[in-house]
Structure 1
C-alpha cells in the first residue's frame, strides 16, 4: 500500500521515471518504465535486483552485447491478424532486424563460460529460457528483402520480369531523348548544357518557350519564372506510358509478395509478440543498469524483514544536480531495526531534515520497484508492505482543508493503515497550528505509531517529541549537525541525541537586532536557553569524540598495515638471507676446489724449479688457512658477519655508478705520445685486447682484433707496445685473505646474463669483453649473452670475438624454448 496517491511526486520518483525513459532504446522499454510499480514480494524484488546487477556487469565487462536494433513492431503485428492485411517493406525490415537482435540476445545469455564454470548471467538467462527465436522467418525475409530493406528483384519471377522490362524501356527512352536533345542542340533550339529531366514521373526536355514549336510533343509543365517549358517528345510518349504501366505492375507485385509473407507470418504472431515482451524487458533492465552506473548504485544485502541499515546513502537526484556544479552530496548513515524503529530528527531549518526524509522514501521506493540504489556495499535493506508520507503543504480550497487539517487527515489515514510492516515518513510533525496543542497531538499520535510497532522517520522542532524519544523504547532521537562557529549546516545525520534548532544563532547570523534576540530569550526563559545550549554542547562534544574515534581507527588500520608489511619484508629478507648463504657456501666450495688445484700446481712448479722449501711451506700454510675460513661459513659468527656485509652491499651498490662515472685519479707521467697511424698496435682505452690499426677515416678508425675488423671512435684508442698474443694462464703461489674476500664479493654480485640488445657494435664488444673477463675471473662455467636476432650482425661480431678468447671452450645458440638464436650460451674453460 502506498499513501497518498501522489507519493511518487512527493519523493521525486516521477523524475526518476523520466530519466529512465531517456535511457531506453525504444517504446518497448518506455512502456515498462511506465508500468514499473512498488512490490513487497521479497523473491520478486531480489530477482529484479539481480537481473539489473548482472546487466551492469555486462555493460562494464562485455563489448559484444547485441543492443543495436530495438524496434517496436507490435502494432504492426497486431494489425496483420486481420486476413488480407500486410506489413509494408519498412515494417518487414524492422521485424527482421529486431528478430535477429532477440535471437542474438538469447544466444548471448545462454552461452557457457568456462571461467565462470557455468552460465555467467544466470538470472538473465532464466528470463531468456522460454523465449522462442525465429531463424527460419529471418531466412524467409532475407529471400525477399535486400540489406537496405528493399524488395529484391528476384523476390518473384514476375517481379524480376517487370523490373527487367522497366529497365529496358527506360534505357530506350533515355537513348531516344538524348538523340532528340543532341539534334535540338545542334539546331540551336536547346542550350548546350541542358539535360533530360523528370516531371510527373515522365522524362522530358527543358526548352525555351519561343522554341517549344520546334519539338513535337506534349508540354507537361513550365518553370515558375515562365522561362522554361518541359516537353515530352511524341516519340517517347508511348514508352513513358509503358513505364507507368510497369510501375503499377511492380507495386501490385510487391504488395502480393508482402501479402503472401504476412499470410505466412500470421500463425506465428502470438509467439513473436511474446518474444517482443522479452525484448521490452531487456530494454527496461538495460535502462535501469545504465541509470545505476550513472548514480553509482549497487545491490545491498536484501533481507526479508523490516530493516534499514544504510551506509553512505545519497539522494540520486540531488547527487546528479550537484555534480553539474562540481559538488558532492553529504552521505547519510541510518539504521532502523526492531529496537529503534522510529527516528525523530531535529535540528536547524535548512539543515537537511527534509532531504534526509525524502532520501529514505525515494531509496526505499526505488529498491522495492526493483532498482539498484546509491549506498555503500556493506549496507543492508529490508522490505516494507506499506509506505506512508506526509510532507509539504496540502491545503485545498475545494475540499475546505487548511494545512493543519490536511496533516491531521494524513495522520488519521496513517494510524488506520499502518502496522509492524509499515514505514511512515512525516515532515514537520505537529506543525501548522498552535505549538502547545500541536505538540501534544503529535505526541499522542506518535505513541499510537510506537504501540503498533511501525517503522518511521519523523522531523520536528517540538521539545516534547524529543523527550518522548528519550523516554520510550523503540523511538530514537537524531540530529542534523550544525557548525556553530562557521554558522552553517553540515547536512550530517547523527543518531542518539536530539538536535538544537539554533534559532538564536541563526537569528544573529541574518542580522536580527540584538535587543530583539535578548527580548526573545527573556520571554522563553533562561531554562530553555540553557537547555538548548547544553544540547548544542552535547552534540558538539559527541561530534568531537566521534572524529577522534575515527582518527584512532584510521591510525590503527595504518599501523596494522605497516606491521603486516614489515613482517612480510622480514620473511622475504630471511628467505633471501638463507638463499644467499646457501649460494655462498656452494661458491666457496667450488672456489676452494679451484684454489686447491692452483696451489698444488704452484707447489709442483716450485719443486720443479727447485725453489726454497720455505716458500713451499708458506704456500701450504696459506691453503690451510683458506680451508679453515671456508669451514667457518654457516657458523653463527659467520652468519652475523654475512648480515653485516649485506648491509654494506647496499652502500657499495649505490657507489658503483659513481665509480664507473668517476675514473680513478692517476698522476700522469710525462711521456711523448706519438700520433696514431695505420700499421701501429693499439688497444681500446680500459681494455687489454691488442689490435692493428688498419685505416683512419675522420674521427673513426678501422681496427683488426685478431680475425675481427671493427670501426671504433679514434678518441677511444691508445697506442701500445704489447703484442696481440693469447692470454697466458696466470701463475700464483698463494691466495691472500684480501683476495678471497674480493673474489667472494665479486662472485656474489656477478650475473650470468649480459643483455647487449640495442647497442652499437663497438659498445657491445666492449661490454662482452668486460663480461667474459669477469666470468673467467670468478670461475663461472657458463654464461649467456642476449643479443637478439635482428639482422644477425651483432651476433656475428660477438661470436667472432669469442673465437679469439683463450678462456672460451665452446659457444652455441640457446635452446629454442629459451630464446634460440637470439642468445649465445658460452662455456668457459
Structure 2
C-alpha cells in the first residue's frame, strides 16, 4: 500500500521516469516506463535487479549488443487484424528490420547465457515463425521497393511498362527536338511529367502549332504543358500498365500480410520482448549515469545503506559539476525509527527524501545509488507525510492535513510499513504539537512500524534517547563557521542552532538575550550541551584525521627508511664481495711476482745487481697495493666560552660533530645525526654551526693503509672491549664484523665482561639489527659464560 496517491510526485519518482524515457531507444521502451509499479514481491524485485545489473555489464564491457531498428509497429499490426487489409511497403520494411533486431538480440544472449542468465531467460517470450523474415526479404529490398521477382505477373507488367516508356520517350524526343528547332519551346525547358503523363513545355502563343492535349500551364501562363496526340495512346497504355503494377504490388503485400496475420499473437510477443530489452537497457544506462548498484536484498523490513545519494539531486549536481554529500543510514531489524534533528537547511528533508525515493526505486526494480556493500529489505507499505498539505477545497489547514495523514498511518501501519514524516508535529502550538507528535510516535512504535522522522522538538529527541527501539540522528553542522555539512550522524540528537544562526546574521543582541530568558535555563542547558558535544565531536574528529595523516606520513617515512636500508645493505654486501675478489686477485698476482723474483734470483745466482733490481720491483708492487687516506683531520677554530645546550661541538679525539641537547654536571648529551650519546664535557670542544656543517659534508672516513694480505693474515677472531666506553664499542664491533667478513671468518668472540650487563646488552641489541649476524649467545660456562658473546655470521 502506498500513501498518499501522489507519492511519486512528492518523492520525485516522476523525474526518474523522465530520466528512463530519455534513455529509451524508441516508444517501445517508453511504453514500459509508464507501466513501472511498486511491488513487495522479493523474487520479482531480485529478477528485475539482476536483469538491469547484467545489462550494465554488457554496456560496460562494450559488448556489441544490437541496438538498431527498435521500431514500434504496434499501430501497423493493429490495422491488419481484418482480412483483406495489408501493410505498406514502408511498414513492411520497418517490420522486417525490427524482426531482424529481435532475432539478433536473442542470438546475442543465447551465446552468452552463462554470463547473462536473467536476460537470456527473456528469450522464451519469442516464438514467432522466423520464416516470415525471409519471405519479406525475398519480396522487398532494403530500400523499401517490391522486387520484380516478387511475382511472375509483376515481372511481366514491369517489363512491358519499361518497353512502353522507352517507345513513348523516343516519339516524344523527336517531337520535342522539332519544337525546339522551330522555337516553340521556352529557353532552358525540358521534357517533364504532368499527372503521370510525359509532356512537352510549349510557349503559350505556339500551343496551336502542335496537336495534343494541354495538361497544365505555368504560374505566369506563358508556358503550357502539352501531350502530343502522337503519344496520347502510348501514355494511356503506360497509365494502364502502372495501374496493373499497383494491383500486382498490392497482391504481393496482401500475401505477406496474410503471413503476418497468421502468426500475429506470437509476433506481438516478439515486440513485447523488444520493448523489455529497450526498457532494461534504459535502466542500465541510468544506473551507469548515477553510479547505481544492486545491493544485497533480504525479505525483511530494514535497510543498511552506505554512501546513499539522492538520485535526482545527484543527477542535477552531476550536470553542473557539483557533488552530493553521501549518507550512511541504517534501520536494523530491532529498531523502529530514526529521529533526525538539526538546523533548518541542514539536509534533514533531503535525507528523508533520499530514504523514500531510494526504497521506492528499489522496489520498482531499479538499481540504486548506494555503495556495493549496502543491504536492503522490503516493505509492503510506504507512507509519507512530506510538504505543505494545506487544502482550501477541503477547508484543511496544514496542521489538520498532517493530523489526517497521521490518522491514516495509525490505522494502517504495521511491522512491514515504512513511515516517513517530515517536520513532525509542526504547524500548531509547539507545546501541544510536540506532545501529540510524541504520542503518535509511541503508537507507531507499538505497532512495530519503521521509518524516519525529522523534527525540532526536544521532547521527541528525549523520547528517542529513552526508547530502546528509537535512535537519534543529527545533521552535522560546522559550529565554528555555522554552516551545514549535510552529513548524517546516528546516535545523538542535533541542535537547531537557532540563537547561533541569529547571531551570525546580525540580529540585535537584545533580541537574542530576550529569547534566552524566555526559553529558560533548562532549555538552554540542553541545547548548550548538544552544542558543546558537537564541538567536542568535531575536535575529536579533526584530531583523529590529523593522527591518521601523521600515521600515514610515519609509514611513508618508514617505508623509505627500509628501502634505503635495504639498498645500503645490498651495496655493503656488494662492496665486501668485490673487496674479497680484488684481494684474491691481488694475492694471486703478488704470489706470482714473489715466486718469479725468487726464481730469477736463483737463476742469476744471487748477483747483487739483479737482486737489487728485484727488490725495487717488489717495493713498487707494495706501493701499488697500498691505499692512502683520503682526508686529513680538518683544522677548526675553537669557539671560546662554556658549552651550553644548543651549541655545536666536536669530539676532540675524532672528526665527529654534533649538537648539545642536555647538560648534567660534567656529562653532556650530544645528538649526532639520528643518534644520541652521553660523554664527558672535557672530551668536547665548542665550534661554530657553519664549521660543523662543513665538517659533516666533507668528512670521509679514511680507508686502511694496511696491506690487504697482511690484514687477512693478522685477523683475530676475538675482540676485547672491556673497559671501553659505550660510544666507542659499537664502532669497534662494526669494524670487527667487517674484518671478519673480509677474512672469511664465520664464528667470532667479543669479550665484554659481566659487570652490570650494560655493555653486553648494548652490543647484543646492536648485533640483532645486522643482516650479517645469524645468532649471538653466551660462551660456555667453563670458558667465560655471560662475559663473552659468541657471534655466528651468515
- Common fold by TM > 0.5: yes
Q: How big is the shift at 1:571?
A: 7.6
Match of 1:504 in 2: 499
1:458 to 431, 443, 453: 453
1:299 to 287, 294, 299: 294
**CA distance change for structure 1 residues 330 and 267 in 2, over 3 Å: closer, same or farther?**
same
Match of 2:194 in 1: 199
In the alignment, the residues of structure 1 paired with residue 89 and residue 393 of structure 2 have an alpha-carbon distance, to the nearest angstrom, of 55
**CA distance change for structure 1 residues 595 and 525 in 2, over 3 Å: closer, same or farther?**
same
Secondary structure in 2 aligned to 1:406? helix
In the alignment, the residues of structure 1 paired with residue 570 and residue 298 of structure 2 have an alpha-carbon distance, to the nearest angstrom, of 48
**CA distance change for structure 1 residues 218 and 617 in 2, over 3 Å: closer, same or farther?**
farther
Q: How big is the shift at 1:559?
A: 5.3
Match of 1:827 in 2: none
In the alignment, the residues of structure 1 paired with residue 18 and residue 243 of structure 2 have an alpha-carbon distance, to the nearest angstrom, of 47
1:418 to 413, 416, 441: 413
Match of 1:49 in 2: 49
**CA distance change for structure 1 residues 371 and 226 in 2, over 3 Å: closer, same or farther?**
same
Q: Of the two, which has the highest radius of gyration? A: 2
Match of 1:222 in 2: 217
Contact 1:338/1:474 (8 A) holds in 2: no
Match of 1:548 in 2: 543
Secondary structure in 2 aligned to 1:415? helix
Match of 2:66 in 1: 66
Q: How big is the shift at 1:63?
A: 4.3
In the alignment, the residues of structure 1 paired with residue 550 and residue 75 of structure 2 have an alpha-carbon distance, to the nearest angstrom, of 65
In the alignment, the residues of structure 2 paired with residue 277 and residue 592 of structure 1 have an alpha-carbon distance, to the nearest angstrom, of 91
Is 1:495 matched up with 2:526? Answer: no
In the alignment, the residues of structure 2 paired with residue 503 and residue 560 of structure 1 have an alpha-carbon distance, to the nearest angstrom, of 44
1:309 to 296, 304, 316: 304
Any idea what the Cα deviations from partners look like across 1:374-426, whole Å, max 9, x if unmatched? 12223222222211100112222333322222211111111222222221100
**CA distance change for structure 1 residues 343 and 254 in 2, over 3 Å: closer, same or farther?**
same
Q: How big is the shift at 1:150?
A: 1.8
Any idea what the Cα deviations from partners look like across 1:101-129, whole Å, max 9, x if unmatched? 122222222225xxxxx832232223335
1:407 to 402, 407, 427: 402
Secondary structure in 1 aligned to 2:216? strand
**CA distance change for structure 1 residues 465 and 241 in 2, over 3 Å: closer, same or farther?**
same
In the alignment, the residues of structure 2 paired with residue 172 and residue 420 of structure 1 have an alpha-carbon distance, to the nearest angstrom, of 89
**CA distance change for structure 1 residues 603 and 216 in 2, over 3 Å: closer, same or farther?**
farther
Q: How does 1:355-504 map to 2 (within 5 A)?
A: 355-504=350-499
2:140 to 135, 141, 145: 145
Q: How big is the shift at 1:506?
A: 2.9
Secondary structure in 2 aligned to 1:499? coil
Contact 1:69/1:97 (8 A) holds in 2: yes
Q: How big is the shift at 1:256?
A: 0.8
Q: How does 1:179-328 map to 2 (within 5 A)?
A: 179-328=174-323
Any idea what the Cα deviations from partners look like across 1:709-760, whole Å, max 9, x if unmatched? xxxxxxxxxxxxxxxxxxxxxxxxxxx989xxxxxxxxxxxxxxxxxxxxxx
Match of 1:40 in 2: 40
Q: How big is the shift at 1:549?
A: 2.7
Q: How does 1:1-40 map to 2 (within 5 A)?
A: 1-40=1-40
Contact 1:102/1:133 (8 A) holds in 2: no
In the alignment, the residues of structure 1 paired with residue 571 and residue 85 of structure 2 have an alpha-carbon distance, to the nearest angstrom, of 84
1:159 to 154, 157, 173: 154
- Measured on the aligned residues, the alpha-carbon RMSD in Å equals 3.7
Match of 1:98 in 2: 98
Contact 2:132/2:259 (8 A) holds in 1: no
1:527 to 522, 536, 546: 522
Q: How does 1:634-645 map to 2 (within 5 A)?
A: none
Contact 1:626/1:737 (8 A) holds in 2: no
Any idea what the Cα deviations from partners look like across 1:306-331, whole Å, max 9, x if unmatched? 32222221112112223343322222
Is 1:347 matched up with 2:342? Answer: yes
Structure 1: 5+ residue stretches without partners = 113-117, 628-735, 739-829
**Comparing 422-431 and 492-501, the one that deviates more:** 492-501
In the alignment, the residues of structure 2 paired with residue 434 and residue 162 of structure 1 have an alpha-carbon distance, to the nearest angstrom, of 91
In the alignment, the residues of structure 2 paired with residue 18 and residue 594 of structure 1 have an alpha-carbon distance, to the nearest angstrom, of 90
Is 1:178 matched up with 2:148? Answer: no
Match of 2:77 in 1: 77
Contact 1:339/1:473 (8 A) holds in 2: no
**CA distance change for structure 1 residues 560 and 286 in 2, over 3 Å: closer, same or farther?**
farther
Secondary structure in 1 aligned to 2:225? strand
In the alignment, the residues of structure 1 paired with residue 595 and residue 207 of structure 2 have an alpha-carbon distance, to the nearest angstrom, of 126
Q: How big is the shift at 1:613?
A: 7.6
Contact 2:583/2:708 (8 A) holds in 1: no
Structure 2: 5+ residue stretches without partners = 626-706, 710-794
Q: How big is the shift at 1:299?
A: 1.9
Q: How big is the shift at 1:12?
A: 0.3
Q: How does 1:744-759 map to 2 (within 5 A)?
A: none
**Comparing 36-45 and 75-84, the one that deviates more:** 75-84
Match of 1:110 in 2: 110
Contact 1:480/1:491 (8 A) holds in 2: yes
Match of 1:800 in 2: none
Any idea what the Cα deviations from partners look like across 1:509-539, whole Å, max 9, x if unmatched? 4444433333333222233234322222212
In the alignment, the residues of structure 1 paired with residue 566 and residue 265 of structure 2 have an alpha-carbon distance, to the nearest angstrom, of 69
Match of 1:680 in 2: none
In the alignment, the residues of structure 2 paired with residue 413 and residue 157 of structure 1 have an alpha-carbon distance, to the nearest angstrom, of 74
**Comparing 264-273 and 562-571, the one that deviates more:** 562-571
Q: How big is the shift at 1:618?
A: 10
**CA distance change for structure 1 residues 737 and 70 in 2, over 3 Å: closer, same or farther?**
farther
Secondary structure in 2 aligned to 1:110? helix
Any idea what the Cα deviations from partners look like across 1:27-81, whole Å, max 9, x if unmatched? 2111111111112222222222222122112112124111112112234334434
Contact 2:340/2:454 (8 A) holds in 1: yes
**Comparing 199-208 and 481-490, the one that deviates more:** 481-490
Secondary structure in 1 aligned to 2:272? helix
**Comparing 534-543 and 342-351, the one that deviates more:** 534-543
**Comparing 381-390 and 515-524, the one that deviates more:** 515-524
